[in-house]
Amino acid sequence: MKVAVVLFTRDLRVHDNPALSAAARAAEHVVPLFVHDPALPAGRNRRWFLDESLTDLKESLRRLGADLVELRGDPVHEAVRVAKAVGAEGLGLARDVSSLARDRERRLEQACADERIALRTFPGVTIVPPDAVRPGGGDHYKVFTPYWRAWQSRKPRDVEGAPRRLRLPKVLPRSWFRDRKVHPDAAGGETAARNRLTGWLRHLEVYDQFHDDLAADRTSRLSPYLHFGCLSPRELAARVEGRAGAEPFIRQLCWRDFYHQVLLAFPGLRREKYRAGAADTWRDEAGAFQAWQEGHTGIPIVDAGMRQLRSEGWMHNRARLITASYLTKHLRADWRLGGDHFFDLLLDGDVANNYGNWQWVAGTGNDTRPYRRFNPVRQAERFDPQGDYVRRYVPELADLEGGAVHTPWKLPEARRRRLRYPAPLAMP
Ligand code: FAD
């Protein structure tokens, strides 16, 4: 093949990128393309992360001899326009599961067929392709543990290195390229992802022991990189496999795959309750929801989590569980509101993981114990026993010592008033 176009979406990397590697093998010239799609929902945190990731991708592609074409508009329209302009015979991209991604793929199929361009789709967004593991008689796994067993028994595909060299077609319009300034301390992108992984691997051994410890903050924080595909989940699993402590970590990566196969089978995950028989009626108290969003519920562990989200665009998994449970099970607010707020602020905001987890917590999703309700104080005493996580994010309570920080309402009235910290909206 003379020319192939690679449409980057949620696979912003050159290592272990099957679509890119296949194009490099099959074509003399490769046109790497990213289309900024105004229809894509992304809060401001994800927008800057995406921007840094694209800068890094462009640099990597340039080092390999190519560059990144960047256009704005409907990805289907723009990809086919580019393919026709460069005389491409093939167009490749990574398969993805959201309804937006699937609609894009369906329309690309049609448009490529009309123009006689060979469309090829590739794995790479998850470790195991979402439709590759299926229970007998069903289209997807509804419960995690049997999925985990089936998932482990699959032979994974080989990890691919970065292509050795890429060549662009000789003449491409200048307007297709965007000037991008490299920031040496950029947080987004493949380079940062690989550095973060290398630095974090020494904590793998104690992952099981510390991953729920809120103050220790020892989880990998790789989720935004996985969301944008700056790091291949398959390569990540391969890098940790065989090392001490790998299994509990790989299990978490499997949860990510699990929710992707749920979303593929249940495209309405973002709005419709997954479990048909689940109760789905919620109170509508705007004041309580706003207090939750702003971290002023009067429950310190909940407020710490919500303020971490606001200040960092990220929240520890244990805090996500506690804050989501408090919103849905104590305040009885609709999980969709909470899910949308998370989705708006999270750097790793992901339709499958976010709404899958929200439904799990709200009792409308994949939890086999849908009526479970986390007691936030007991959770705090267990996962932040010294109170350091709360003091880090709730400065009003910084003078309270040890675990007493979790129950300020138990303080003598005069002291409590001096704190200027609210009474709980709902008691634990
Ligand atoms: P680590 O503990 O280092 O785990 C490694 C990777 O495994 C993560 O990066 C992530 O890709 C995956 N993973 C871990 N836990 C889960 C899980 N429960 N479900 C799915 N994948 C998981 N994760 C997102 O990536 N995007 C979201 O929008 C998102 N929303 C969430 C909303 C709620 C209410 C809850 C309870 C969880 C949500 N999670 C989401 C899952 C989890 O909280 C984050 O993936 C994790 O905190 C990311 O931190 P880490 O990279 O340090 O995780």
Distance 68 CA to ligand 1 centre (A): 30
Percent of the chain with pLDDT over 90: 94
Q: How far is CA 379 from CA 3, 129, 339, 363, in A?
A: 56, 35, 21, 18
Give the pocket of ligand 1 (CB within 6 Å).
Answer: 211, 219-223, 226-227, 252-253, 255-256, 259, 317, 320-321, 324, 342, 346, 348-350, 353-354, 357-358, 361
Give rounded-to-5 percent helix, strand, coil for the chain: 50, 5, 40
Residue with CA nearest ligand 1 atom 43: 317
Closest CA to 41 of 355, 346, 345, 344: 344
pLDDT classification of 226: cutoffs 50, 70, 90: very high
CA–CA dist 193, 181 (Å, integer): 19
Instruction: Name the band, by pLDDT with cuts 50, 70 and 90, for residue 42.
Output: confident
What is the model's pLDDT at position 281? 85
Query: Which stretches of 92-160 are DSSP H helices?
Result: 99-115, 144-152
Question: What would the pLDDT profile of 297-340 be if each residue is shown by its tens digit?
Answer: 999 999 999 999 999 999 999 999 999 999 999 999 999 999 99
Ligand 1 midpoint to CA 304 (Å)? 18
Confidence band of 286 (pLDDT split at 50, 70, 90): confident
CA-based radius of gyration for the chain:
23
pLDDT value at 284 more than 90: no
State the distance from the centre of ligand 1 to the C-alpha of 257, rounded, in angstroms.
11
What integer is the mean pLDDT of 104-114? 98
Q: Is 80 exceeded by the pLDDT of residue 41?
A: no
Give the pLDDT band (50/70/90) at residue 386.
very high
d(CA 119, CA 92): 6
Give, using CA atoms, the residue closest to atom 44 of ligand 1: 317
Instruction: List 121's β-bridge partners, or say none.
Output: 93
ipTM of this predicted complex?
0.99
Q: Among 18, 10, 187, which Cα is nearest to 101's?
A: 10
Q: pLDDT category, 290, cuts 50, 70, 90?
A: very high
Over the stretch 235-247, which tens digit does the pLDDT of each residue have?
999 999 999 999 9
Ligand 1 center–CA 391 separation, angstroms: 23
How far is it, in rounded angstroms, from Cα 265 to Cα 290? 33
Confidence of residue 280 (pLDDT cuts 50, 70, 90): confident
**Residue 272: what residue type?**
E
**CA 256, CA 125: separation in Å to the nearest integer?**
10
CB neighbourhood size of 280 (10 A)? 16
- Probe residue for ligand 1, chosen from 357, 364, 372, 383 as the CB with the greatest number of ligand atoms within 8 Å: 357
Query: What is the rounded distance in angstroms from the CA atom of residue 15 to the CA atom of residue 124?
Result: 11
CA separation, residue 125 to residues 79, 236, 339, 378 (Å): 20, 12, 22, 37
CB distance 329 to 373 below 8 Å: yes
> Which residue out of 222, 223, 253 has the highest number of ligand 1 atoms within 8 Å of its CB and is therefore the one to mutate?
223
What CA–CA distance (Å, rounded) separates 323 from 422? 17
Per-residue pLDDT, averaged over 80-107, amounts to 97
Quote the percentage of the chain above a pLDDT of 70. Answer: 100
Q: What is the pLDDT at residue 279?
A: 87
In sign, the C-alpha dihedral spanning 227, 231, 233, 237 is: negative
Residue 178 three-state SS: coil
| Centroid of ligand 1 to alpha carbon of 277 (angstroms) | 26
Of all atoms in ligand 1, which is nearest to the CA of residue 323? Answer: 34
Instruction: Tell me the pairing of strands 118-122 and 90-94.
Output: parallel
DSSP state of 423: P
For the chain, what is the mean pLDDT? 96
Q: State the average pLDDT over residues 155-160.
A: 95
pLDDT at 183: 86
- The whole-angstrom separation of Cα 248 and Cα 133 is 20
pLDDT for position 238: 98
286 HSE (CA, 13 A, CB side): 0
* Alpha carbons 243 and 203: distance in angstroms, whole number: 11
Instruction: Report how far residue 371's alpha carbon sits from residue 53's, in angstroms, rounded to the nearest whole number.
Output: 40
Cα separations in angstroms, 191 against 13, 183, 199, 360, 406: 9, 12, 12, 33, 39
> Average pLDDT, stretch 201-206?
97
The closest of 50, 241, 234, 225 to 124, measured between CA atoms, is: 234
| Ligand 1 pocket mutation pick from 97, 126, 147, 256 by most atoms within 8 angstroms of CB | 256
The atom number, within ligand 1, closest to the CA of 348 reads 26
Task: Provide the residue type at 155 as one letter.
Answer: K
- Region 213-226: mean pLDDT is 98
Q: Whose CA is nearest to atom 50 of ligand 1?
A: 221
Ligand 1 atom closest to the Cα of residue 226 is 11
Work out which ligand 1 atom sits closest to the CA atom of 258.
20
pLDDT of residue 16: 98
- Model confidence at 350, pLDDT cuts 50, 70, 90, reads very high
Q: How far is the CA of 263 from the centre of ligand 1 (A)?
A: 15
Give the number of other Cβ atoms within 10 Å of residue 356's Cβ.
26
